[in-house]
Amino acid sequence: MTDQSMTSEAPAQGRGKPVAERAGIPVGLKRAALLIGLIIAIALPFMVKNFTIFQLTTVMIYAIAILGLNLLTGFNGQFSLGHSTFIAIGAYTTAILMEFGGFGFYATLPLAALFCFIVGFLFGLPALRLESIYLALATFALAVATPQLLKSAPFEPWTGGVQGLLVFKPEAPFGIPLNSDQWMYFVTLVIGLVLAFFAVNLVGSRTGRAMMAIRDNPIAARAMGINIALYKTTTFGVSAAYAGIAGSLSAVVVQFVAPDSFTFVLAIGLFVGLVIGGVGSIPGALFGGAFLVYVPNIAEELSKGLAGAAYGAILLLVIYLMPAGAAGLVRAIVMKVLNRRA
């Protein structure tokens, strides 16, 4: 799983040539890795238990959210320790529309993305005035406040308060012979690929170069005539929309939304996933998602009483071994092997 998760979308990066300063892995190799990754990704649900399919779906959902965070932090240089909020908004949008609006899941997905885009864009406006550490704190404040807002009296009639809302999980349509776990796996896979493709192209486009110019040198970017405010808020919106889609998917996959599902622990988890996967790397998001799902389980295996300490120790170890994240490590290894051959 992890092998596939680290490389499956790697080739995509070459196509857009997003990060010029990086010595790239040859495009051919990336394409081959993508193809192999895709074949494995398609074959897997027919080879493993439903529970594992569910886990893999969760990995992809986290990866989508981390991808969104990556666009914001990795490519635009804006911190966020509050992306759990947008996941929550996406999840609740889907849950509420399905519960009270009689919507089908698929109809709620774009609405969740749109709504999150708007909220993210609006949050991006005040964020413009906040520099790195202050922005990190403001977003963290958002993450801390989210569960309280969700269960507060004014919202309770819609959010179900502390009890949360149960969500119906769609079955495969048109008599496709897949169970609901497999079906949602493929739905998530396709959405994830589309979003990754979009991210790659965005990053490789003029817009992407402007985003990165703002990250690297805002003053020079302004001098080049880039509308910094517009780009920053739009990036915030797009990033939030990614998180919203992840939230929407998670609502139906988990079949339940509750304030306790979206605490600041989730926000911090996404941030950890981003750094571990590799800041500024699109395939790294998948590794980050896998880290989020599997490492707590490993930590718990090591010790029940010290699960938290084990998790912390693993985290430190990973940071030491790959300070540039999994993507950085893979890049370094591949380059080393290639150089030796050459």
Partner 1 sequence: MIKRSLTVLAGMTALAVAALPASAQTYGPGASDTSIKIGNINPYSGPASAYGTIGKTIDAYFNKLNAEGGINGRQIELVSYDDGYSPPKTVEQARKLVESDEVLFIFQSLGTPTNTAIHKYMNVKKVPQLFVATGATKWGDPDNFPWTMGWQPNYQSEGRIYASYILENEPDAKIGVLYQNDDYGKDLLQGLKDGLGDKVDMIVAEVPYETSDPTVDSQIINLKASGADVLVTIATPKFAAQSIRKVAESGWKPLHIVNNVSQSVGGVLKPAGFENAKGILSTAYTKDPTDPQWADDPAYKEWAAFMDEHYPEGDKSSSFTVYGYAAAQTLQKVLEQAGDDLTRENIMKQAANLNDFELGMLLPGIVINTSDTDFFPIEQMQMMRFNGEGWELFGPVIDGSVGS
Partner 2 sequence: MELFAHQILSGLATGGIYACMALAIVMIYQAIHHLNFAQGEMAMFSTFIAWQLIEWGFPYWIAFFLTIAISFVGGVVIERTVFKPLHRAPVLAHIVAFIALFAIFNSLAGFIWDFTIKSFPTPFGQQSLFGSGLISAHDTGMIVVTLVLLGLLFLFFRHTRIGLAMRAAASNPDSARLVGVRVGWMIALGWGMAAAIGAVAGMLIAPVVFLEPNMMLAILIYGFAGAVVGGLISPGGAVIGGFAVGVVENLAGTYVPVVGQEMKLTIALALIVAVLMFKPTGLFGARLVTRV
**Which of 141, 255, 314, 315 is close enough to bind partner 1 by CB under 8 A?**
255
Which of these ranges, 14-22, 64-72, 257-265, 271-279, lies near partner 1 under the rule CB under 8 A?
Answer: 257-265
107 binds partner 2, rule: CB under 8 A: no
- Picked from partner 1, partner 2, none, the partner binding residue 291 (CB below 5 to 8 A depending on kind) is none
| HEC sequence for the chain | CHHHHHHCCHHHHHHHCCCCCCCCCCHHHHHHHHHHHHHHHHHHHHCCCHHHHHHHHHHHHHHHHHHHHHHHHCCCCCCCCCHHHHHHHHHHHHHHHHHHCCCCHHHHHHHHHHHHHHHHHHHHHHHCCCCHHHHHHHHHHHHHHHHHHHHCHHHHHHHCHHHCEECCCCCCCCCCCCCHHHHHHHHHHHHHHHHHHHHHHHHHCHHHHHHHHHHHCHHHHHHCCCCHHHHHHHHHHHHHHHHHHHHHHHHHHHCEECHHHHCHHHHHHHHHHHHHHCCCCCCHHHHHHHHHHHHHHHHHHHCCCCHHHHHHHHHHHHHHHCCCHHHHHHHHHHHHHHHHHC
Q: Spell out, one character per residue from 297 to 316, where the chain touches partner 1: x when CB under 8 A holds, - when not.
A: x-xx---xx-xx--x-----
- Picked from partner 2, partner 1, none, the partner binding residue 137 (CB below 5 to 8 A depending on kind) is partner 2
184 binds partner 2, rule: CB under 8 A: no
Q: Spell out, one character per residue from 62 to 81, where the chain touches partner 2: x when CB under 8 A holds, - when not.
A: -----------x--------
Between 5 and 233, name the residue whose CB sits nearer to partner 1: 5
**Which of 259, 273, 325, 328 is close enough to bind partner 1 by CB under 8 A?**
259
In angstroms, give the least distance from the CB of 49 to partner 1.
5
Q: Round to whole Å and give the CA distance between 57 and 220.
A: 42
In angstroms, give the least distance from the CB of 177 to partner 2.
43
Q: Round to whole Å and give the CA distance between 89 and 67.
A: 17
Which of these ranges, 126-134, 273-281, 283-291, 292-300, lies near partner 1 under the rule CB under 8 A?
Answer: 292-300
- Picked from partner 1, partner 2, none, the partner binding residue 172 (CB below 5 to 8 A depending on kind) is none
In angstroms, give the least distance from the CB of 162 to partner 2.
11
The letter for the amino acid at 211 is M
In angstroms, give the least distance from the CB of 272 to partner 1.
14
**Which of 118, 144, 202, 335 is close enough to bind partner 2 by CB under 8 A?**
144
Between 205 and 297, name the residue whose CB sits nearer to partner 1: 297
Residues that contact partner 1, how many (by CB under 8 A): 36
| HEC sequence for 74-139 | CCCCCCCCCHHHHHHHHHHHHHHHHHHCCCCHHHHHHHHHHHHHHHHHHHHHHHCCCCHHHHHHHH
54 binds partner 1, rule: CB under 8 A: yes
162 binds partner 1, rule: CB under 8 A: yes
Q: Please, are residues 52 and 200 in contact by the beta-carbon 8 Å criterion?
A: no
Between 58 and 85, name the residue whose CB sits nearer to partner 1: 58
Binding site for partner 1 (CB under 8 A): 49-52, 54-55, 58, 144, 148, 151, 161-164, 166, 250, 254-256, 258-261, 263, 265-266, 293, 296-297, 299-300, 304-305, 307-308, 311
Binding site for partner 2 (CB under 8 A): 73, 126, 129-131, 133-134, 136-138, 140-142, 144-145, 148-149, 151-154, 217, 219-220, 268, 271-272, 274-276, 279, 305-313, 315-316, 319-320, 323-324
